Amino acid sequence: MTVRKDKQTGLWLIDISGGVNPVTGKRRRHIKRGIKTRREAITLEPQLRIQKFGDSSKIKGITIDLLYTLTQEEDKNNHRRDTYLHTQEVYYRKHFMGYFENAKIDKLTPKDMEIFRQTLIKKNLEASTINRLMAQLSKLFNTAVKQGFRPDNPCLALRKLPESPQPIHYWTLDEFNTFMSLFEVEEYPYQLFFKVAFSTGMRKGELLALTWEDVDFSRQTINVNKTLVRLPDGQMSFHPPKTKSGYRSITIHKSLTQELQAWRDKQRELLTPYCEDPNTLQLFQFIPEPLNEFRVKRAFDKVMARTTKLRKIRIHDFRHSHVALLIENEESPYVIKERLGHKSIKTTYNTYGHLYPNRQKSLSDKLDGLF
């Protein structure tokens, strides 16, 4: 019997056979234990047959939940990031699960996909968001095609919605200096965080992942090789960059290099008693607990509440502000691409092209003395 009680634990188990392995000639068998209820085991059995042996003969009705489960399993086997899997789960539960709960997956048509997309449009979602959601839905139907549940993907007949370019918000150098003047003395680590953000164009997660091992004071560079991400369980974890271009070395100006050296010495006075190796401390850490995005956001909001003179921007917009500063100082878009870690110069132009006056000079040491 494929579904039965485990005599050792009192829970349920699934014991399935996949016939003979055509390569090794050995019998294929898979046992899954620790299932709480018989109903859960019966539901899970046909999914396991597909995942382990590619056997869909026991499937009585194809559901959207089955497609999602199989797609997630494939993504895990392909070593997709935890953050990616979490995002896919959020999209699925929020937009797909309820809508397609009772759908006959093998009967859905391109017209049905268009009707679903209209429901997303009525929610006033951005076109870019709707396109991402439809891409994920298309991925689920690709799984259906791979497993032989239907002959085609009904999403492929739909063209992407046209996306309007999003306005870029940024601060000028004067606005940034005004922001810097609002910090209290005890808030210096956060002030330094935003100064490095404005000076390098690094992403928030990249900044939070920096340790002193990533700073080369002799060459005046910061090496970007990881990012701090929040996992679905709320834990923070260091992850490598998503692409090869994400690994990069960013030159910093002399005055910032000196300021970082001074802060490193001060930080060691504060935190060396609490750590084994001060080189592994986060650059902007000032208490024994790690610095996270929530602390930075609270500090940013607190400082912004002290003025009504500055335009409202997000922390991510310090990245845009850095680019605006480089363009103002006639930097080459190729250099900007390298500093930002873009995959291509086309990405840089698509994002910031309207700001470029076709300048090609080198920035060199122009940042020194500006702030």
Residues annotated catalytic, as ranges: 203, 242, 316, 319, 342, 352
CB-based contacts of 96-102 (< 8 A; 24+ apart in sequence): 96/64, 96/68, 96/136, 96/137, 96/140, 97/64, 97/65, 97/68, 100/64, 101/63, 101/64, 101/65
**Which pair of tokens denotes residue 227?**
């990012």
Contact 283, 212 (CB under 8 A): yes
Kindly report the three-state secondary structure assignment for every residue of 178-195: HHHCCCCHHHHHHHHHHH
**Which pair of tokens denotes residue 107?**
């009967």
**Which pair of tokens denotes residue 273?**
């008693």
The count of C-alpha atoms lying within 13 angstroms of the C-alpha of 141, restricted to the half-sphere facing its C-beta, is 26
Q: How far apart are CA 55 and CA 52, in angstroms?
A: 8
Q: How far apart are CA 207 and CA 263, in angstroms?
A: 15
Q: How far apart are CA 172 and CA 198, in angstroms?
A: 10
Q: How far apart are CA 113 and CA 155, in angstroms?
A: 6
Q: Which helix (H) or strand (E) holds 86?
A: helix 82-91
**Which pair of tokens denotes residue 264?**
């490193």
User: CB atoms < 10 A from the CB of 362, how many?
Assistant: 11
